[in-house]
Amino acid sequence: MIVLDYRDNRPLYEQVTEKIAHLIICGALESNSKLPSVRSLAMDLSVNPNTIQRAYAQLEQDGYIYTVLGRGNYVCGNNEWKDSKLRELSRELEQAMRKAKEAGLTLQEVTAMVDTVYASEEGETK
Amino acid sequence: MIVLDYRDNRPLYEQVTEKIAHLIICGALESNSKLPSVRSLAMDLSVNPNTIQRAYAQLEQDGYIYTVLGRGNYVCGNNEWKDSKLRELSRELEQAMRKAKEAGLTLQEVTAMVDTVYASEEGETK
DNA sequence: TTGAGTGTATTAAGACAACTAATACACTCA
DNA sequence: TGAGTGTATTAGTTGTCTTAATACACTCAA
């Protein structure tokens, strides 16, 4: 299911998190399907169960999966993770915008920035 | 000039940086006036000169002060730090905007956000 | 009820980075 | 030339991050 790269100097739990998130985004893991248990995946990858536990906790935090105690971990319904991520990024954007305004960024300048960012590719603004 | 707070768990150099930046922003330190030397301020605060050196380096990086080798550190001309900070925050804003767009934030939504942020106080957009 | 399978919590060891200090070096100017 | 200034190098201490070891708690089928 997953292969760890020990030359990668990022932590193991982060690699696991990223790879599983990628599988979910790609659609390789269907909604509500069961993920491998903490212990079995840990065995597969030859790491401690806590490492997988941390990755799963992160994935739950990010809205990719949900946990049922004593039963296992499951992939969230479609787009739940998308909404979660969008909300988070929107919060960050608004915070950055307020700080920039505070520092003196004018309405004209931020409007120009929006135009630039949203014109940089095809008009996929729905 | 400055009092360090040892209950504050932030690093000393950061406290020094912040307090001096505050004095400059408030106007308590005039443009082109000389700051205490690395060694004298270190003596005052009973810390190592390197700690002050690091704080001054940060302040220079942020555009608050400038250094003349062998002579000392001086407060920058008005608004130099302002421009520097504005540029930095603009970069961060644009980056946050691109990420949010990537995650699916629509043009309508970001436009609404701009309206909200820039309407929250009086129209000081010049 | 019980035991196998599951997630969770606590604690500790090792690696690593951040912070600060000690010290030596280099520049300016009276 | 020497006193005052900023700069660079190195090292010790401290704290944080990552991972593992281990024990605890929940679920469900037999």
pLDDT in tens, B20-69: 999 999 999 999 999 999 999 999 999 999 999 999 999 999 999 999 99
Residue in chain A lying closest to B89 (CA): A100
- Once rounded to an integer, what is the mean pLDDT over residues A31-42? 96
Radius of gyration of chain A (CA): 19
- What single-letter DSSP state applies at residue B68? E
Which residues of B touch chain A, with CB atoms under 8 Å apart?
A: 82, 85-86, 89-90, 92-94, 96-101, 103-111, 113-114, 116-118, 125-126
B40 touches strand D (CB under 7 A): yes
Across the interface, of B105, B107, B117, the residue whose CB is closest to A90 is B105
B82 touches strand D (CB under 7 A): no
End-of-domain residue from the set A39, A55, A75: A75
Residue A126: what pLDDT?
38
Q: Tell whether A98 and A66 lie within a shared domain.
A: no
Q: Specify if A109 maps to a domain.
A: yes
Q: Tell whether A84 and A71 lie within a shared domain.
A: no
Q: Tell whether B26 and B42 lie within a shared domain.
A: yes
Q: Specify if A6 maps to a domain.
A: no
DSSP A47-103: S-HHHHHHHHHHHHHTTSEEEETTTEEEEPPTTHHHHHHHHHHHHHHHHHHHHHHHH
Helix, strand, coil fractions of chain B, as percent rounded to 5: 60, 5, 35
Residue B84: what pLDDT?
86
End-of-domain residue from the set B39, B59, B75: B75
Binned at pLDDT 50, 70 and 90, residue B97 comes out as very high
Q: What is the helix (H) or strand (E) element at residue B64, kind and residue range?
A: none
Binned at pLDDT 50, 70 and 90, residue A58 comes out as very high
Q: Specify if B115 maps to a domain.
A: yes
- Nearest CA distance, A78 vs chain B (angstrom): 15
- Distance, CA of B52 to CA of B39 (rounded, Å): 8
Say how many domains are in chain B: 2
Q: Tell whether B20 and B71 lie within a shared domain.
A: yes
Q: Specify if A23 maps to a domain.
A: yes
A72 touches strand D (CB under 7 A): no
Residue A121: what pLDDT?
61
What residues have CB less than 8 Å from A30, skipping those under 6 apart? A75
Residue A33: what pLDDT?
95
Residue-wise burial string across A99-120, b where 16 or more C-beta atoms lie within 10 A, e elsewhere: ebbebbbebebbeebbeebbee
CA triple A81-B114-B101, angle to 5 deg:
35
Q: Specify if A3 maps to a domain.
A: no
Query: Among all strands, which nt has the closest C1' to A37 (CA)?
Result: C6
- Domain with A27 in it: 12-75
End-of-domain residue from the set B58, B75, B92: B75
- Once rounded to an integer, what is the mean pLDDT over residues B14-23? 96
Q: Specify if B88 maps to a domain.
A: yes
Q: In chain B, which residues have their Cβ closer than 8 Å to the Cβ of A90? A: 100, 105, 109, 113
Residue B44 belongs to a domain with what CATH number?
1.10.10.10
Q: Specify if B4 maps to a domain.
A: no
Query: Among all strands, which nt has the closest C1' to B56 (CA)?
Result: D6
Q: Specify if B3 maps to a domain.
A: no
**Cα A34–chain centre separation:** 18
Q: Tell whether A58 and A84 lie within a shared domain.
A: no
- Average pLDDT over chain B reads 91
